[in-house]
Amino acid sequence: MADYKAPLRDMRFVLNEVFEVSRLWAELPALAEVVDVDTASAILEEAGKVTAGSIAPLNRSGDEEGCSWDNGLVKTPAGFPEAYRTYAEGGWVGVGGSPEFGGMGMPKVIGAQVEEMVNSANLSFGLYPMLTAGACLSILNHASDELKNQYLPNMYAGVWAGSMCLTEPHAGTDLGIIRTKAEPQADGSYKITGTKIFITGGEHDLTENIIHLVLAKLPDAPAGPKGISLFLVPKVMVNADGSLGEKNSLGCGSIEHKMGIKASATCVMNFDGATGYLVGEVNKGLNAMFTMMNYERLGVGIQGLALGERSYQSAVEYARERLQSRAPTGPVAKDKAADPIIVHPDVRRMLLTMKALNEGGRAFSSYVAMQLDTAKYSEDKATAKRAEELVALLTPVAKAFLTDMGLETTVHGQQIFGGHGFIREWGQEQLVRDCRITQIYEGTNGIQSLDLVGRKVVGSGGSYYKHLSEEIRAFIASADAALAEFTGPLGAAVDNLDDLTAWVLEQAKTNPNEIGAASVEYLHVFGYTVYAYMWALMARAALGKEGQDDFYVSKLGTARFYFARLLPRIHSLTASVKAGSESLFLLEAEQF
């Protein structure tokens, strides 16, 4: 496998030339104080060094060794504790954290690039700081000042880690039926009792303490999701002076043996009257959790992108070196026994598909991150509200489409290696295995599709979608004639998506099955159309610069490939949506 190299040139292109993020930062005073183009460039450069130098070399060995469990204790693979210490000492765990408690305070659009780098280098490793950052976000926005001051500085510093404890053996997506209980105590604390499963980083040896955020129900809580509260439950109790005290009444019962991400500890966590502290209001636990959901779901989408990038880097290096057969038009490497496989049309099809999906995904994830920054920091209420609604609309697309395309990309990368792609030592098969979970956790992609169509499109009467459609049409109207080869098919794609959205809205009025029947294909039509918008934006930034260096030539060539070979997928998907739900219900359950 090729050594990982952070795609810094493309990241700078997206941030500075496509989106001109410095303009956004200048409009948001809270960000203007902490970040500028030079600061951002320095941060990304350093992140590229630490991820490539300290974390990427542990990817295969971590997969081979995996985590081990012994009498409640979890050991991560060799090198992980040292690499985590290096990562934490660099401040990377708190890159997006509040400066008030020791975080860097960087905007999400910078954090998104750092996340991509660490997950490309080693997804299993990247999950540990990701879960800590998510826990910090909920604590920052909902916990008392006392809890913030007691826990956030050490969590941002990477001295303590965090976990999110939601799922139970009988309750996955349907959190309203959880059974974990919280008993109020005289001192204001609670005793937490119950079992949680699939807890990433629930136990490990990377930090001296792990701060669990646990969903539980009070004895008198109403039934369903309106009766869920959120609690902070430390692995080791923290004394008033900040020192560590006794171990809390909780433990790791086992770890899962998984298809991929084997160096990430996926734990069964047992809480046996553990001491916990309320975060936010009683029975408002889901509100506190959803504060971080948009960030976490974008983060999972970025994982799919990251694995696709790592697969592409290895595949293109292999395709340039592997000699097999001659080009259809005749010998290219005449001094060799055969030509490198990159001359063959089908190999180029796979490489360009990977490149187009990766670079389109990077632009899209950055775009969504910018909306998160605008929603969080804008002082103009109308601007913030529009950004919030765009985030709500685009988050399920970011999570599902980026990971679906990530799996397609990693499979292409494996295929380019031929038989060697099936062999462990080349590394491509690990990326396929690791990527598969991204379509499942943090809400399966089927659930994301239902969220997009049911809640965000139908639930808003199409108003959230209108923001995006109007923005793309304004871009097309403002483009000059030189961009017509891109804006023409983009306009047709938006017309198609407008029409499909109107069709779904109409069908949902009379048949509730139509939402579920349409959802996955609709999300994909949506994703390909949004990527077309991203590629048109990138083409605008690259046009006229072809003479400067090959980067712009490559960018425009890939844009043309996307519009010619990938965007047309929307037509079969649209036909599938409009076929309706009837064919899904022709069989009785016993006839399957």
CA dist., res. 313 & res. 351, Å (int): 10
CA dihedral 316, 320, 324, 327 (to 10 degrees): 100
CA dist., res. 264 & res. 258, Å (int): 10
Which pLDDT value is given to residue 293? 83
Residue with tokens 């750092």: 114
* Terminal alpha carbon distance of the chain: 43
Domain tally for the chain?
Answer: 1
CA 432 to mean position of chain CA atoms = 16
Question: Cα angle at 378 between 299 and 34, to 5 degrees?
Answer: 70
Q: What percent of the chain has pLDDT over 70?
A: 100
Residue with tokens 């098919």: 489
Contacts of 91 (CB under 8 A, 6+ apart): 104, 157
**pLDDT interval class at 1 (50, 70, 90):** confident
The reply to whether 324 falls in a domain is no
Summarize pLDDT for 397-433 with one digit per residue, the tens.
999 999 999 999 999 999 999 999 999 999 999 999 9
**pLDDT interval class at 287 (50, 70, 90):** confident
Told to judge if 359 belongs to the known catalytic residues of this protein, a careful annotator would answer: no
The reply to whether 503 falls in a domain is yes
Residue pair 493/529 in contact by the 8 Å Cβ criterion: yes
Summarize pLDDT for 74-115 with one digit per residue, the tens.
999 999 999 999 999 999 999 999 999 999 999 999 999 999
The reply to whether 289 falls in a domain is no
**pLDDT interval class at 169 (50, 70, 90):** very high
Question: Cα angle at 378 between 375 and 384, to 5 degrees?
Answer: 45
The reply to whether 99 falls in a domain is no
CA dist., res. 164 & res. 150, Å (int): 18
Which residue in 309, 359, 442, 514 is the catalytic one? 442
Which pLDDT value is given to residue 99? 97
Contacts of 97 (CB under 8 A, 6+ apart): 103, 104, 105, 133, 136, 140, 152, 156
Phi and psi at residue 269, in whole multiples of 5°? -110, 125
Is pLDDT of 291 > 90? no
Beta strands in 437-500 (DSSP E): none
More confident: 291 or 218: 218
Residue with tokens 């490198």: 340
Half-sphere exposure of 152 toward its Cβ, with a 13 Å CA cutoff?
26
- Taking CA atoms, 269 is separated from 122, 219, 416, in Å, by 24, 21, 41
Q: What is the mean pLDDT of residues 220-225?
A: 92
In a 3-state reduction of DSSP, which class is residue 583?
helix
Is pLDDT of 176 > 90? no
Which pLDDT value is given to residue 525? 99
Half-sphere exposure of 592 toward its Cβ, with a 13 Å CA cutoff?
4
Which DSSP symbol is given to 281?
Answer: S
Summarize pLDDT for 537-557 with one digit per residue, the tens.
999 999 999 999 999 999 999
Is pLDDT of 289 > 90? no
The reply to whether 465 falls in a domain is yes
Overall size of the chain counted in residues: 592
CA dist., res. 134 & res. 201, Å (int): 12
The reply to whether 269 falls in a domain is no
- Taking CA atoms, 160 is separated from 64, 97, 338, 389, 450, in Å, by 26, 14, 55, 34, 36
Is pLDDT of 292 > 90? no
Is pLDDT of 168 > 90? yes
Which pLDDT value is given to residue 231? 98
Q: What range defines the domain where residue 509 resides?
A: 445-584
In a 3-state reduction of DSSP, which class is residue 581?
coil
Is pLDDT of 172 > 90? no
Q: What is the mean pLDDT of residues 152-161?
A: 98
Residue with tokens 């990562």: 87
Contacts of 511 (CB under 8 A, 6+ apart): 581
Q: What percent of the chain has pLDDT over 90?
A: 97
Token digits of residue 245 = 């005290």
The reply to whether 499 falls in a domain is yes
**pLDDT interval class at 536 (50, 70, 90):** very high
Average pLDDT, the chain: 97
Element (H, E) at 112: helix 108-121
The reply to whether 472 falls in a domain is yes
Element (H, E) at 270: strand 266-279
Q: What is the 3-state secondary structure (H, E, C) of 182-219?
A: EEECCCCCEEEEEEEEEEECCCCCCCCEEEEEEEEECC
Residue pair 490/484 in contact by the 8 Å Cβ criterion: no
Which pLDDT value is given to residue 349? 98
Summarize pLDDT for 329-374 with one digit per residue, the tens.
999 999 999 999 999 999 999 999 999 999 999 999 999 999 999 9
Nearest by Cα to 255 from 244, 264, 265: 265
Q: What is the mean pLDDT of residues 166-177?
A: 87
Q: Specify burial of residue 303 (Cβ count, 10 A radius: 0-12, 13-18, 19+).
A: buried
Task: Provide the phi-psi class of 106: left if phi over 0, else alpha when psi is between -120 and 50, else beta.
Answer: beta
Question: Cα angle at 344 between 341 and 347, to 5 degrees?
Answer: 75
